Amino acid sequence: MDVTTKGIVLKATDYNENDKLILLYSLEYGKITVHAKGIRKGSAKLKFAADQFCFGQYELNKTADRYTLKTCDQLESFYSLREDVVVYYAACAVAECLMNCTEEEQSEPEVFVETLKAFAALTDGVDPLTVVLRYLLGFLKMQGSGLQLDRCAVCGSPVAKGFLDLQHGGVVCEGCRSAESVPVSARTLALCKMAETISYDKLKNLHFTQEALKDALGLFNKYISHVFFPFKSIAELLKL
Ligand SMILES: [Zn+2]
């Protein structure tokens, strides 16, 4: 059966002599693996369809156990995401989120749209760390695993600064902290709260220091490592 879907390339790996396996985040089918036959041959016309972050309309042949690439109409190459190292790792963090934290063949249109918005913001020159923070906090919220940021996750009292508690999935107050709780400054907490709710078109108006953003991302990485897996790209972003 032939099917058509919009999709974003998360990564592609070499397969057989001339093929690639494309990990595609698709609008209609969620995360799927697509077999692209002959795409590494010098004469292959569809090479671009396996480029990381390529956004296109993909025509696929679907059988019971696999998808095979038939053709692709590129809608946006997002080539510029691969030109600057900070922007690149920020885009990788978005892709890694979809690789690590979504299920195969589970369509989530809202996540798809947010991903395109994040890539567009990175292309438009919005600060990469701000985009990553916005995307990841928003993603967790959509998955129902959002961080509780304004009230203590144990006793419910308002918290302006406090401690991140991984077991309780949020911030806890001085009285409810455990030995493993990690301190969170008022600045980091305020930044996360703002980044969680702001729309992508307003992101460029936010001006946080890189130090504050790195604190927030580092904290977030601890949480997401606990819920899912550690993100390699966030570790790279924090080193840059
Ligand atoms: Zn408390």
Cα–Cα distance, 227 to 145 (Å, whole number): 8
Q: Which positions ≥6 away from 207 have C-beta within 8 Å?
A: none
- From 130, 120, 137, select the one nearest 204 (Cα to Cα): 130
Tell me the CA–centroid distance for residue 157 and ligand 1, in Å: 6
Matching CATH number, 2-77, of 2.40.10.10, 3.40.50.10680, 2.40.50.140, 2.60.40.1180: 2.40.50.140
Tell me the CA–centroid distance for residue 155 and ligand 1, in Å: 4
* Strands lying side by side in the sheet with 182-184: 170-172, 162-165, 182-184
Tell me the CA–centroid distance for residue 126 and ligand 1, in Å: 36
Rg (CA), the chain: 19
The overall average pLDDT reported for the chain is 93
Tell me the CA–centroid distance for residue 189 and ligand 1, in Å: 16
Q: Which amino acid is at 198?
A: I
Query: Residue 206 carries which DSSP code?
Result: -
pLDDT digits (tens, 9 = 90+) for 85-141: 999 999 999 999 999 999 999 999 999 999 999 999 999 999 999 999 999 999 988
Q: Which residues of 41-73 are buried (b: 16+ CB within 10 A; e: fewer)?
A: eeebebeebbbbbbbbebebeeeeeebebbebe
* Confidence (pLDDT) at 201: 92
Tell me the CA–centroid distance for residue 36 and ligand 1, in Å: 53
pLDDT digits (tens, 9 = 90+) for 36-46: 999 999 999 99
CATH code of the region 83-239:
1.20.1440.120
Tell me the CA–centroid distance for residue 179 and ligand 1, in Å: 14
Looking at the DSSP bridge assignments, the partners of residue 164 are: 171, 182
- From 97, 21, 27, select the one nearest 55 (Cα to Cα): 27
Cα–Cα distance, 167 to 125 (Å, whole number): 36
The neighbourhood of ligand 1, an ion, using CB within 5 A, equals 152, 154-155, 173, 176
Tell me the CA–centroid distance for residue 151 and ligand 1, in Å: 8
Tell me the CA–centroid distance for residue 144 and ligand 1, in Å: 21
Instruction: Kindly list the domain boundaries of the chain, sorted by start residue.
Output: 2-77, 83-239
pTM: 0.93
